[in-house]
Amino acid sequence: MSTQDDREKVLERIEQWKLRPPRLTDDVITMAHGAGGKASQSLTEAVFKAAYGGPQLDRLDDGAVLDIPSGHRIVFTTDAFVVTPRVFAGGSLGDLAVNGTVNDLAVMGATPKWLTVSAVLEEGLPMDELRSIVGDVAAAAAAAGVEIVAGDTKVVERGAADGCYLTTSGIGLLPENREFGAEQVEPGDVVLVSGTIGDHGMAVMLARGDLKLDADISSDTAPLHTAVAALLDAVPTTRWMRDPTRGGLASACNELATAANLGVSLFEESLPVNPPVNGACELLGLDPLYVANEGKFVAVVPADKADDALAALHSDPVSAGAVAVGEINDEHPGMVVAHTPFGGSRIVDMLVGAPLPRIC
């Protein structure tokens, strides 16, 4: 065999070695996984890249180069997720991290396209649990049609974090002619909610096991961009949108009332609340208006377009339960008022304190 043949075989073996996935034999996260050496490389290759891998992420560069189609602007958002427990009825930390960021883009009118996902891991976190979290992230991203293009991992000492925290950033594409916001809201406009409220917050609360309650409640975590797109196609004059996460529908409506300097009237008999959620809230002394949602949005549309908006929302499974819950007025600027079926009313203020901490 010639020297040239020997050299080619050696080079071939080197290339095969480079392509061989690093072995990951650890059962739990250790500080070495955050030190930037072989253990870090193994974790990145065998867990994160294996789940999220795509043309951009596979390069393992310090950033992603993204081509923006002409005629679009970008919407950029970021969020952190620290929910406890990390798995609950209807969802998990992993899909919550994806859906939460996708929905922030969606209610801005953007089409979600790219995500980054960073993880802060506590020493001692079981590797199987990490794989499960990462798998949920990958599945949620695939379901939402978004690509994970970059990320980062940090490991902290045992006791310095609660297992795993995720931080996501997202980029969506916004057509140049799409504009809406609180400044466009007018008296007489109709307030819509895409479905039942309070499901996520109560699902997480029950999953903690501190309460001796047995109720059939699942989180509503879901991507909203297809429902938002259906609404905007049917009603391009949609005035304003928001996903009512922490602080619930009450806080979202208060933010609107303040920003628009108009009043928001909510009609209690129209508020969509699942009976188990309503029952659990009554037992705990909570108002469903303040309980977090992760798969719902609130929108304001012109009164003459409300029927078209509801028809469009009902066409998407995520928003099939959409209803009109209120209207905009100039009678009590900056305030939200809930009207009871018996002719009474009450002020719905911003959330005070944190009755349901770490729900996202």
- CATH number, domain containing residue 121: 3.30.1330.10
Residue 13 lies in a domain: no
Contact between 155 and 48 (Cβ < 8 Å): no
* 233 and 158 in a common domain: no
- Among 160, 175, 190, the domain-final residue is 175
Residue 103 belongs to domain spanning: 24-175
88: in domain: yes
| Strand extents, DSSP E, 189-315 | 190-193, 240-242, 263-267, 298-301
CATH number at residue 220: 3.90.650.10
* Domain presence at residue 11: no
Residue 192 near residue 241, CB atoms below 8 Å:
no
Query: Would you state the pLDDT for residue 348?
Result: 95
Same domain, 162 and 229: no
- One domain for residues 139 and 265: no
User: Does one domain contain both 140 and 192?
Assistant: no
Tell me what pLDDT residue 10 has. 63
Shared domain for 51 and 169, answered yes or no, is yes
3-state DSSP assignment of residue 300: strand
- The CB density around residue 137, as the number of other CB atoms within 10 Å, is 27
Q: Is 20 exposed, middle or buried (0-12, 13-18, 19+ CB in 10 A)?
A: exposed
Residue 3's pLDDT is 62
pLDDT at 156: 97
Q: Kindly state whether residues 164 and 195 are assigned to the same domain.
A: no
pLDDT digit of tens for each residue in the chain (360 aa)? 456 666 676 666 656 555 555 678 899 999 999 998 889 989 998 899 888 988 888 888 889 999 999 889 999 999 999 999 999 999 999 999 999 999 999 999 999 999 999 999 999 999 999 999 999 999 999 999 999 999 999 999 999 999 999 999 999 999 998 999 999 999 999 999 999 999 999 999 999 987 777 889 999 999 999 999 999 999 999 999 999 999 999 999 999 999 999 999 999 999 999 999 999 999 989 999 999 999 999 999 999 999 999 999 999 999 999 999 999 999 999 999 999 998 899 999 988 877 778 899
Q: What span, in angstroms and rounded, lies between the C-alpha atoms of 43 and 127? A: 10
CB 81 within 8 A of CB 93: yes
Is residue 219 a part of any domain in this protein? yes
18 in any annotated domain:
no
Structural contact between residues 284 and 356, judged by C-beta atoms closer than 8 angstroms? no
34, 123: one domain: yes
Please state whether 71 falls in left (phi above 0), alpha (psi between -120 and 50) or beta. Answer: left
* CB contact at 8 A, 336 and 254: yes
- Domain boundary (113, 148, 175) is at 175
Quote the CA–CA distance of 249 and 6 in Å, as a whole number. Answer: 70
Total domains in the chain come to 2
Q: For residue 155, tell me if it sits in a domain.
A: yes
Residues near 248 by beta carbon (within 8 Å), at least 6 away in sequence: 197, 198, 201, 288, 289, 290, 291, 292, 293, 351
- Of the residues 175, 204, 237, the one at which a domain ends: 175
- What pLDDT does 215 receive? 87
